[in-house]
Amino acid sequence: MRKQIKSDKSKVSIDSNLFKEIRALIMAARNAVVRNINTVQVMTSFEIGRRIVEHEQQGENRAEYGKALLKVLSNNLTEEFGRGFSRSNLQNMRNFYMIYHNRLPEKCQMPSGKLIGGQKSQKLSDKPGTIEKSLSSKFSLSWSQYIFLIGIKVDEARSFYEIEAVNNNWTLPELTRQFNSGLYERLALSRDKEGVRKLAKEDQVIAKQEDLLKEPYVLEFLGLDENAKYSESDLESAIIDKLEHFLLELGKGFLFEARQKRFTFDEDHFFVDLVFYNRLLNCYVLIDLKIGKLTHQNLGQMQMYVNYFDRYVKTKDEGLTIGIILCSKKREALVEITLPKDANIHAKEYRLYLPSKEELRRKLLDWTSGQEAGNEV
C-alpha cells in the first residue's frame, strides 16, 4: 500500500513516491550545483595562478618583484571583488599551478614544463571551453582540499592523498585526519618498494593480506588517556562506541560481525574480542586486544582462533582467516621466533595519540635504506 502525505492547508493527499522522487531531484540538483561551484573555483584558481606565473617569468626570476606583485594584485582585487583574494590566497593559487601545471595537455606546455604559452603553444584563453573542459576532469576535489594538498611537501605522499580522497569521497576533515595520522607512511611501512611506488600512483589496492596492514594503528578518536589506567575491556568498549571511526582506521572493505565471539572446543569456551569480515579479500579478520606486554601465549592463542575459523567456520570458497593482535608494545624478536614466516597472524602496535610525522618518516627512511642495502647484497 502506498503511503499518502497530506498537506495541512490544502488537505490534498499526494503519493509519497512522488514526494520522494521530487525530493531526490532537488537534492541531486543541489549537489550538482555544489560540484559545479567547486569545479569553477578550482579552475579559476588554476587560471589565476597560471597568469601570475607567466607574468613573473616574462623577465628574470625576481623574488621581491613576485611578492610586490601579489600584494598589489591582492589590494586591487579585494577592492573590487571583496574577500577571497588575500596575498596568501593568491600565493596558494600560484603554488597550485606550479604543482599541477603538468596536467595541462602536452600541446599546451613548453618542453621545460615551466611556462605555458610561447610562439607555438596554445594558450587556454585562445580556445575557450576546450582545454578548460579537459582540465576540469583532472581536478575532482574542492578548492579547500587542494589548498591542504599543496601544503604537503612530499610529491608521492601528496599524490597518494589526492587519489585516496577522490576514490573514497573523503571530506576535508577526513583528509586532514588521514594525513595527520600518517596514513601514507604507515601503509608504506607494510609494503615492499614496488608497493610503495604503487601507493603514489594508483588507488590503494587490497589484493593480499599485507595490503590490509598498517604500522601502527592510530586510535586517537577513542579519547582514552594513555597515561591513565584502562583495561582491555575498556579499550574494546571504546572501539565499539566509535565503531564507524574504527572501521575507517582498519581500511577498505571491512564489515563488523561480532564482539566477544564465542566458540567451544573440547568443552572449553573461548572468546574472540572482535570479529570482522573483509569483502575485498573474502575472509574473516579476527582482532585480539592486548594492553600489556605481548607474550608467546598471546600469539599461540590467536593461532588457535585462526585455525578454528579456517576449519569450522569459513567456507571452501573463502580466503584464509587473518589474525591481528593489537598491542601497546610489539616485540619484534618474539613475533619472529614464535610465528612461521607464512603465518596469517600479525602483531601490530596501536597508539592512542597521533604519531609524530617525523618519527614515521624516519622509520620509512630507515626501512627503505635497509631494503636498498638488502638488494645490493
Q: Tell me, what's the pLDDT at 117? A: 41
Q: Give ∠ CA 146-32-23 in degrees, rounded to 5.
A: 135
Mean local confidence (pLDDT), 126-133: 50
Q: For 144-198, how does the pLDDT look when each residue is reduced to its tens digit (9 = 90+)?
A: 999 999 999 989 899 999 999 998 889 999 999 999 999 988 888 777 777 777 7
What is the strand order of the sheet 283-290 is part of? Answer: 217-218, 345-351, 322-327, 283-290, 268-278, 254-265
Pairing of strands 13-15, 4-6: antiparallel
- Of 359, 350, 301, the C-alpha closest to 328 is 350
Measure the N-to-C terminal CA separation of the chain; round to a whole number of Å: 74
Do residues 213 and 234 touch, judged by C-beta distance below 8 A? no
Residue 261 falls in which region: left (phi positive, over 0), alpha (psi -120 to 50) or beta:
beta
d(CA 345, CA 60): 60
Q: Tell me, what's the pLDDT at 307? A: 93
In the structure, what pLDDT confidence band is assigned to residue 125 with cuts at 50, 70 and 90?
A: very low
d(CA 283, CA 277): 6
Q: Give ∠ CA 146-28-141 in degrees, rounded to 5.
A: 10
Q: Say which amino acid occupies 124.
A: L
Residue 102 or 269, more confident: 269
For the chain, the domains span 15-150, 217-354
Q: Tell me, what's the pLDDT at 2? A: 47
Do residues 108 and 122 touch, judged by C-beta distance below 8 A? yes
pLDDT above 80 (res 23) = no
Residue 255 falls in which region: left (phi positive, over 0), alpha (psi -120 to 50) or beta:
beta
Do residues 233 and 224 touch, judged by C-beta distance below 8 A? no
Lowest mean pLDDT among 57-66, 241-250, 256-265, 280-289: 57-66
Give me the phi and psi of 272, to 5 degrees please. -90, 130
In the structure, what pLDDT confidence band is assigned to residue 132 with cuts at 50, 70 and 90?
A: low
**What percent helix, strand, coil does the chain show, rounded to 5?**
55, 15, 30
d(CA 38, CA 230): 45
Q: Tell me, what's the pLDDT at 244? A: 93
Do residues 160 and 364 touch, judged by C-beta distance below 8 A? no
d(CA 332, CA 293): 12
CA count, 13 A, side-chain hemisphere, 3? 5
Q: For 30-70, how does the pLDDT look when each residue is reduced to its tens digit (9 = 90+)?
A: 766 666 677 888 888 898 888 888 887 665 556 566 677 88
Residue 92 or 130, more confident: 92
The two most distant CA atoms of the chain are separated, in Å, by: 85
Fold of 217-354: Trna Endonuclease; Chain: A, domain 1 (3.40.1350)
Lowest mean pLDDT among 190-194, 282-286, 319-323: 190-194
Question: Within 10 A of 122 (CB to CB), how many other CB atoms are there?
Answer: 17
d(CA 86, CA 45): 13
pLDDT above 50 (res 366) = yes
Lowest mean pLDDT among 74-78, 90-94, 153-157, 198-202: 198-202
Residue % of the chain over a pLDDT of 70: 78
